[in-house]
């Protein structure tokens, strides 16, 4: 995580979102977690807190989001596949002015 944090910290104009994901096993734990949606958000939030507290990234540049079990990268039929689906992902968010420039016709 240190290398990713260093890259993000050296690009102060970049905003990003940490996505949390789960496998498809319904969450049946206790405490403050209600279901897989909630678990995925808490997974993303824990990464955001580490990036802020341990690596000094600006919290105004980060967002945490949960995707639950709805965007798997592997089959949930095996233990290995489920482990791959329990993950976080960093998504670089485009600046809207840069996005609108992409929509302009080229001259």
* Residues 20, 66 contacting (CB under 8 angstroms): yes
Instruction: Give the domains, in start order, of the chain with CATH numbers.
Output: 15-103 (3.30.1330.60)
Q: Where are the alpha helices (DSSP H) in 54-78?
A: none
Using one digit for the tens of pLDDT, what is the confidence trace for 46-75? Answer: 999 999 999 999 999 999 999 999 999 999
The model's confidence at residue 94, banded by pLDDT at 50, 70 and 90, is confident
Q: What is the pLDDT of residue 103?
A: 78
pTM of the model: 0.84
Cα–Cα nearest to 65, from 53, 47, 81, 84: 47
Other CB atoms within 10 A of residue 43 CB: 21
Q: Considering only 3-7, 42-46, 91-95, which range has the smallest mean pLDDT?
A: 91-95
Question: What helix, strand, coil percent values describe the chain, rounded to 5?
Answer: 40, 15, 45
């Amino acid at each position: 995580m240190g290398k990713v944090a260093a890259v993000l910290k050296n690009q102060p104009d970049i905003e990003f979102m940490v996505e949390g994901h789960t496998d498809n096993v319904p969450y049946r734990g206790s405490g403050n977690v209600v279901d897989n949606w909630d678990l995925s958000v808490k997974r993303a939030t824990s990464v955001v807190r580490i990036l802020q507290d341990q690596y000094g990234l600006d919290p105004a540049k980060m967002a945490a989001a949960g995707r639950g079990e709805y965007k798997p990268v592997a089959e949930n039929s095996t233990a290995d596949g489920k482990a791959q689906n329990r993950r976080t992902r960093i998504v670089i968010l485009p600046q809207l002015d840069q996005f609108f420039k992409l929509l302009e016709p080229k001259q």
